[in-house]
Structure 1
Amino acid sequence: STTQPTQLNLTQCSASPPPVRLSGQIRLAEGFSLRDIGLKQERIEVNGYAMQCRVTTEDVSKGFQPDSGRLEVFRPGQGIGIRLDSASAYAGAIISPYYDSLLCKVIAHTKDFRDCAAKMERALREFRVRGVKTNIPFLLNVLRSEKFLSGTTDTSFIDQHPELFKLQAHKNRAQRLIHFIAAEPPKGWRQILVDQGPEAFARAIKEHPSVLLTDTTMRDAHQSLLATRVRTYDLLKIAPYAARNLSGLLSLECWGGATFDVAMRFLHECPWERLEELRQQVPNIPFQMLLRGASAVGYTNYPDNVVYKFCDQAVKSGMDIFRVFDSLNYVPNMEVGMDAVRKAGGVVEAAVCYTGDVLNSKKYNMDYYLKTADQLVESGTHILAVKDMAGLLKPAGARALIGALKKAFPDHPLHVHTHDTAGAGVATLLACADAGADIIDCAVDSMSGITSQPSMGALVSCLQQDCGVKLSDVTPYSAYWEVARRLYANFECTSTMRSGNADVYENEIPGGQYTNLQFQSISLGLSNQFELVKKKFAEANELMGDIIKVTPSSKIVGDLAQFMVANNLSKQDVIDKASELSFPTSVVEFFDGLIGQPVGGFPEQLSRGVLQGRQPRFSGRPGAELPPLDFDALRASLQEKFGDQEISDKDVISAALYPRVFDDFAAIRQKYGPVSKLQTRVFFQGPKIAEELELHLERGKTIYIKPLAVAEPDKTGKSECFFELNGQQRVVYITDKEASKNVTIRPKAKATVKGSIGAPMPGEILDVKVQSDDVVEKGQPLMVVSAMKMELVVTAPIAGRIKTIHVGAGDKVEGNDLLIDME
């Protein structure tokens, strides 16, 4: 055999007579001759070739200098006629600089020398070694050399053939793509916040030479267009793209507002898990949320310690910027949220809610907005915002308002939020940018317009400055959402609103409330009267004193509007019959001062009627008079209800904000598990028979489910369902709600009999507060009825005795179903 310095060995093989066995080799080593062990040279014939290549971790371009590091990939070439001698070569192995650089010996064997070289070349080409350099490119050059293949090489072969060192670089496409996918996305604005803190973050925005963008697609856009129904599953699928390609965004609005309770109420998801999972996928872009001041993410005021606890946990879970507002622009309420955010380490963005027309309104004029903004600046906001929740800000008003705010508060970044309900949103935001706004809100094209925010693509194209986002990156982002949006067709606002509608300048319905109000109306049986609901919304606003309208105040106006439509009440009827009507709970709480004090105070006549002549419960900030919540007691209560579930701090906060909603969510979680892992179509519509579902429960745990058949329901309404789980058959029994449902037809209340009390709207009886034969006063609460997010307290229209109670807690009722007879 001959051995070259190339680490390639060539051996001529013999097979006749039989090759020398180990004992013969030992005897030869001891000094015996071939003849002594029965072999003669002339009888040995060459009938095959074996070739060995030693694959080493050497950098050929540096004089075969040993290379060291971690083997990211090791896949050897194999096949018939190939043998591998290897020890420590495997993916993840550490190649030490202090040991032999040999990775693997590759041996090829064939009858013909050139075939042997070809087989060896094929095996070496199939090797995949990543993480360290090897001599494989050099070995391949040797095997392709005609001089080598001719069998006439000697020890000067390498010196005489410098072309052997012209190494062909590996394409390494797959591994490079994996590195790109695994690498951290580009650094964004969050890096400044993490490294330098909120104050420096605000200064950096102020010093930035051009306007920046906030993307609302993951929160306000779908709240406005799709009734807040977009699931975490679909957000997570596009999140990595946003992190890599939209890193120039100032922020992603992805949490808060109605998304918190809707996640639990309708999607059966934990809102905290959504935030934390998104944070893992998007580490570089600041997250932004909507915080309702002293109401946190609820619809009423809470004890102060609940707000502080919520903000602290939100920051820990990944939230960065808190847009703090109050539904009445009541600054004392905002100050609680602002202080809670500051103490939690978040960025405070205090927002002045905009309504009316700044150029024409007597109540909400320029002086009002400047004074309100001044209070927020004095209270220590990092960023000042204008929150135009209904899209009422017009281009001329925008130039005047933004210009005045920039002049009055030059040291604070200014962020503008609007909706495109009337179709003028892009023009308004361009006017804001011209007037000096530092940040403007937008939504990706396929999720923009109508009640959502103005188009991101349109703004990127029209702004004559670098806003940190390229149109070429917006287009694929929009394409994803265009397809994803189809999954939520049942919740589309376009079912009643096909295009922009300028009547918003009259009814002033916030964009984020529009679809929720629409579906609430449907649940109340008012789907064919939605145009009337919108007109009544404007009347309800006037009745309540022309208030700022944004959650929860806008919900209160909406509740009153639907109440008026459901009971066929005019504006004057509400005033005249106020003391006799069972107003929605939210309306009563508003006049009780439970969400704060409106600009100009409460309308006296209606307030007196709604409150039955008594004084409001609160005359200042409600949270200041509420006792702190006992979180330990709440945790103990939850643990008792859901003993087999681990109750986390986040669960306790969710229960503090939404007690009944969390209980229902926890019960569903306990019964059905993590339904958020299901594909959206399957979640809303159910799977198809024989469709295989791939569910990623957690890292490293994937299951496969295939529905096989569903039997007909039996007499009790139970159906047998057959599934295949990871190839094994499973059977479950479910109750067919339609088959087992008992239809109850209730008598109706008599309109001419005052003691005949009917349901004020379709819904569910939550609570019965009286018993038969009880003596009650006029206006005393009798029952609580709930539909969607609206609750109504049914009160006694007269003083008297409870004769008969026709329903109980949990019963479903239709409008005007007889609830109680009094005498």
Structure 2
Amino acid sequence: MHSVLFMVSFILVNLLLSFFLTEYLAKSPQEDPNVQPPKGFRQIYKEQGPEAFAKAVRNHKGLLLMDTTFRDAHQSLLATRVRTHDLLKISPFVTHTFSQLYSMENWGGATFDVALRFLHECPWERLEEMRKLIPNIPFQMLLRGANAVGYTNYPDNVVYKFCELAVQTGMDVFRVFDSLNYLPNLIVGMEAAGKAGGIVEAAISYSGDVSNPNKKKYDLNYYLKIADELVKAGTHVLAIKDMAGLLKPTAARMLIGALRDKYPDLPIHIHTHDTSGNGIASMLACAEAGADVVDVAVDSMSGLTSQPSMGAIVASLQGTPLDTGFKLPKISEYSAYWEQTRTLYAPFECTTTMKSGNADVYTNEIPGGQYTNLQFQAYSLGLGDFFEDVKKAYAEANQLLGDIIKVTPSSKVVGDLAQFMVQNKLKPQDVLDKAEELSFPKSVVEFLQGHIGQPYGGFPEPLRSKVLRDMPRIEGRPGETLAPLDFTKLKQDLTETFPNITDRDVMSAALYPQVTNEYLVFNEKYGPVDKLDTRIFLVGPKVGEEFECTIEKGKTLGIKTLAVAEDLTENGEREVFFELNGTLRSVLILDKDAGKEMQIHPKADKANKKQVGAPMPGTVIDIRVKPGDKIEKGTPLVILSAMKMETVVQSPVAGVIKSVDATLNMKLDAEDLIVTME
């Protein structure tokens, strides 16, 4: 009875929400398409080059702003789920109103992966369409150094080709960083962006607290030494990437003041997250200490794990020598659009558990861009009620790994280990004591092998030796030994299945092979779903509802859902009846929920060393053994995957495989039986 009432109330709320959004979202600010937008910093870059752009930024009077609303703000608050459809609606207003932005961050980071994986959109088309509507403001992306926009190292020619295509499609400023501040990886990204003709903004990822003498690992001297190397490597702009919001006002004055004294002619750009609630104070301190640019998000998409409020920064500096020149009424219009649009993405909100700023970030050091995704991972692993435990374990996992710089992909390593610890009820000492028999997440093993680079201060011992045993280790830059990718062969292979493949699709496949393949299959079957309104895309139309979909200029489809058949076909499909521009049609749709069968998988007996169970819920994506195989302790048995977290399940003992009790693509719960030995 309780569940029925809950569903009734849930449906009523959604009906009211749908009505509100339908009536209200159409009132987004509009601009006359015949009026040319004002010139911005992009004209300087395109006409005179990156060096002239950097000089103009440094000579500018007043604080410059980068708007993160189109990228990091929704990555941090809404699990990167904002669609191109909603970004394009507001783009004309932005180009006319905010022409004096230093840049707009609208690409890179997790947006590339999520666009393909969850939104069924081409990230290249997103960039291209935004460029058409916003010709005057520099676009900025986040480039993970030698990782490009992926989670691993790629051959150097992949990173170079990616940057080349990005500039051709409309990208301008490349904020290049490395997840460990490992200079060889970072410099590969800088050189790739520079060779492509982009503006290179080399970023130092910030951790620790330079104002706290007790935190000695990442002190002021550490940051100044890295800055020296980045300046020598030819960066046009120097950035501090405070991905977790750890840069306190006092530390900001110390760090930015020291950098400004050392490099009086170099533009300095500061990025932070407002997780603790300290972000506005810290950014104002940076500006006063000599920073040229700070990151902000429009008010209704700011705060918490996002960036500090644009309106608050603008208002604080009005009438001062650092006045930004922006007008609060226009910011309010911009904010109103996002306030309305944000309600569409309620299921992805970080505010599910985080209702206010939380200073515990100074303890757990979780990056703002990871926080929401970590929540979703926790729920998918059955740890939704233990998220506070996951946050505490995150700090413990970081110390176990040697107190590393934490930003994608190194932050994923820490997050995966933290959830692994909570899932298996492990304390830090348990991890150290049982390291030789535990099946650690794949990301943790690969980090310890050196797959993402060398951490400052070295790898943690004896943990590394215990986990890796006789596994291979990588010394130096991981991508240095990788053979160049054969793009011609990759395109030929893809063309066999997808005849209309483009070079941009090939590039996506080079970075995310499986995800891109799934996107291309989906796109061939269903077409460009980015043209659908967001509510329709996320939840589908209601029976009897009429809606329109403009697939190109002058071509609008009118669609009305009429009925859904009650009976299933033999293939588990339902017939759906609808009108398309007044013509009656029907299609068969697979009903995935109705087709599910209850399957009870046997659990492993923990007391029986001959049975190996799943250490976490997940899908079996690889099986490495077969019955009759003689194996040693630590031999990989299967690989499980859940929400981009992969775990290699290893044998806790030596023996002979009696049976493999899991199949490829089987979905398992924690402790489900995988292998039996004899």
Of residues 498, 504, 509, the one that matches 1:642 is 498
**Equivalent residue number for residue 86 of structure 2:** 234
- 1:258-307 Cα distance to aligned partner (Å, 9 max, x none): 01101111111111111111111100100000000000000111110110
**Equivalent residue number for residue 620 of structure 1:** 476
Q: Which moved more, 1:560-569 or 1:182-191?
A: 182-191
User: Is 1:482 aligned to 2:339, yes or no?
Assistant: yes
Of residues 219, 236, 252, the one that matches 1:398 is 252
Point out where structure 2 has 5 or more consecutive residues left out of the alignment: 1-28
**Equivalent residue number for residue 810 of structure 1:** 665
Amino acid at match of 2:483: P
**Equivalent residue number for residue 10 of structure 2:** none
* Secondary structure class of the residue paired with 1:412: coil
CA distance in 2, matches of 1:743, 1:267: 29
CA distance in 2, matches of 1:210, 1:714: 65
Any residues of structure 2 matched to 1:638-787 within 5 Å, and which?
638-643=494-499, 646-714=500-568, 716=570, 717-787=572-642
Amino acid at match of 1:217: T
User: Is 1:410 aligned to 2:237, yes or no?
Assistant: no
Amino acid at match of 1:710: V
**Equivalent residue number for residue 61 of structure 2:** 209
CA distance in 2, matches of 1:467, 1:701: 42
* Secondary structure class of the residue paired with 2:106: strand
CA distance in 2, matches of 1:814, 1:182: 58
CA distance in 2, matches of 1:228, 1:221: 8
CA distance in 2, matches of 1:430, 1:260: 31
Of residues 463, 478, 481, the one that matches 1:606 is 463
User: Is 1:285 aligned to 2:132, yes or no?
Assistant: no
* Secondary structure class of the residue paired with 2:33: helix
User: Is 1:255 aligned to 2:110, yes or no?
Assistant: no
Measure how far apart 1:705 and its partner are: 1.4
**Equivalent residue number for residue 44 of structure 1:** none
CA distance in 1, matches of 2:146, 2:80: 22
Measure how far apart 1:715 and its partner are: 5.7
* Secondary structure class of the residue paired with 2:308: coil
Identity across aligned pairs (percent)? 63
Of residues 308, 313, 323, the one that matches 1:466 is 323
Measure how far apart 1:755 and its partner are: 2.2
* Secondary structure class of the residue paired with 1:740: coil
CA distance in 2, matches of 1:496, 1:713: 40
CA distance in 2, matches of 1:491, 1:180: 33
CA distance in 2, matches of 1:742, 1:252: 48
Contact 1:713 1:739 in 2 (8 A): no
* Secondary structure class of the residue paired with 2:462: helix
User: Is 1:318 aligned to 2:177, yes or no?
Assistant: no
Any residues of structure 2 matched to 1:358-369 within 5 Å, and which?
358-360=210-212, 361-369=215-223
* Secondary structure class of the residue paired with 2:70: helix
User: Is 1:187 aligned to 2:39, yes or no?
Assistant: yes
When residues 388 and 648 of structure 1 are mapped into structure 2, their CA distance, relative to the original with a 3 A threshold, is same
**Equivalent residue number for residue 15 of structure 2:** none
Measure how far apart 1:615 and its partner are: 4.7
Contact 2:30 2:93 in 1 (8 A): no
CA distance in 2, matches of 1:182, 1:543: 59
- 1:353-374 Cα distance to aligned partner (Å, 9 max, x none): 0011012220100000000111
**Equivalent residue number for residue 355 of structure 2:** 498
User: Is 1:305 aligned to 2:154, yes or no?
Assistant: no
* Secondary structure class of the residue paired with 2:247: coil
Amino acid at match of 2:430: D
CA distance in 2, matches of 1:206, 1:350: 16
User: Is 1:799 aligned to 2:651, yes or no?
Assistant: no
Measure how far apart 1:692 and its partner are: 2.0
Contact 2:636 2:650 in 1 (8 A): yes
How many pairs are equivalent? 644
* Secondary structure class of the residue paired with 1:706: strand
**Equivalent residue number for residue 561 of structure 1:** 418
CA distance in 1, matches of 2:257, 2:31: 47
Which of the pair has more CA radius of gyration?
1
Contact 1:713 1:736 in 2 (8 A): no
Contact 1:450 1:500 in 2 (8 A): yes
* Secondary structure class of the residue paired with 2:137: coil
Of residues 280, 288, 296, the one that matches 1:442 is 296
Measure how far apart 1:807 and its partner are: 1.3
**Equivalent residue number for residue 26 of structure 1:** none
Measure how far apart 1:473 and its partner are: 1.2
Amino acid at match of 1:461: A
Measure how far apart 1:676 and its partner are: 1.0
**Equivalent residue number for residue 789 of structure 1:** 644
Measure how far apart 1:178 and its partner are: 11
When residues 578 and 641 of structure 1 are mapped into structure 2, their CA distance, relative to the original with a 3 A threshold, is farther
**Equivalent residue number for residue 131 of structure 1:** none
Measure how far apart 1:688 and its partner are: 1.7
Q: Which moved more, 1:748-757 or 1:393-402?
A: 748-757
Contact 1:608 1:614 in 2 (8 A): no
CA distance in 2, matches of 1:767, 1:664: 18
**Equivalent residue number for residue 582 of structure 1:** 439
- 1:295-333 Cα distance to aligned partner (Å, 9 max, x none): 000011111011001000000110000000000000110
Measure how far apart 1:690 and its partner are: 2.4
Identify which of structures 1 and 2 has the higher relative contact order when contacts are C-alpha pairs closer than 8 Å and 6+ apart: 2
Q: Which moved more, 1:231-240 or 1:659-668?
A: 659-668
CA distance in 1, matches of 2:113, 2:188: 21
Contact 2:279 2:307 in 1 (8 A): yes
CA distance in 2, matches of 1:252, 1:682: 28
Point out where structure 1 has 5 or more consecutive residues left out of the alignment: 1-176
* Secondary structure class of the residue paired with 2:658: strand
* Secondary structure class of the residue paired with 1:238: helix
* Secondary structure class of the residue paired with 1:384: strand
Measure how far apart 1:402 and its partner are: 0.4
Measure how far apart 1:713 and its partner are: 3.0
* Secondary structure class of the residue paired with 2:674: strand
Q: CA RMSD in A?
A: 1.3
**Equivalent residue number for residue 235 of structure 2:** 381
* Secondary structure class of the residue paired with 1:738: coil
Amino acid at match of 2:259: L
CA distance in 2, matches of 1:290, 1:304: 17
- 1:712-736 Cα distance to aligned partner (Å, 9 max, x none): 1326332110011111111101121
Measure how far apart 1:183 and its partner are: 2.5
CA distance in 2, matches of 1:755, 1:246: 65
CA distance in 2, matches of 1:752, 1:685: 45
CA distance in 2, matches of 1:753, 1:316: 59
TM-score of the aligned structures, taking structure 1 as reference length: 0.77
* Secondary structure class of the residue paired with 2:71: helix
CA distance in 2, matches of 1:476, 1:507: 36
TM-score of the aligned structures, taking structure 2 as reference length: 0.94
CA distance in 2, matches of 1:639, 1:614: 37
CA distance in 1, matches of 2:30, 2:619: 54
Contact 1:782 1:795 in 2 (8 A): yes
Contact 2:208 2:218 in 1 (8 A): yes
CA distance in 2, matches of 1:822, 1:409: 64
CA distance in 2, matches of 1:612, 1:562: 23
When residues 466 and 502 of structure 1 are mapped into structure 2, their CA distance, relative to the original with a 3 A threshold, is same
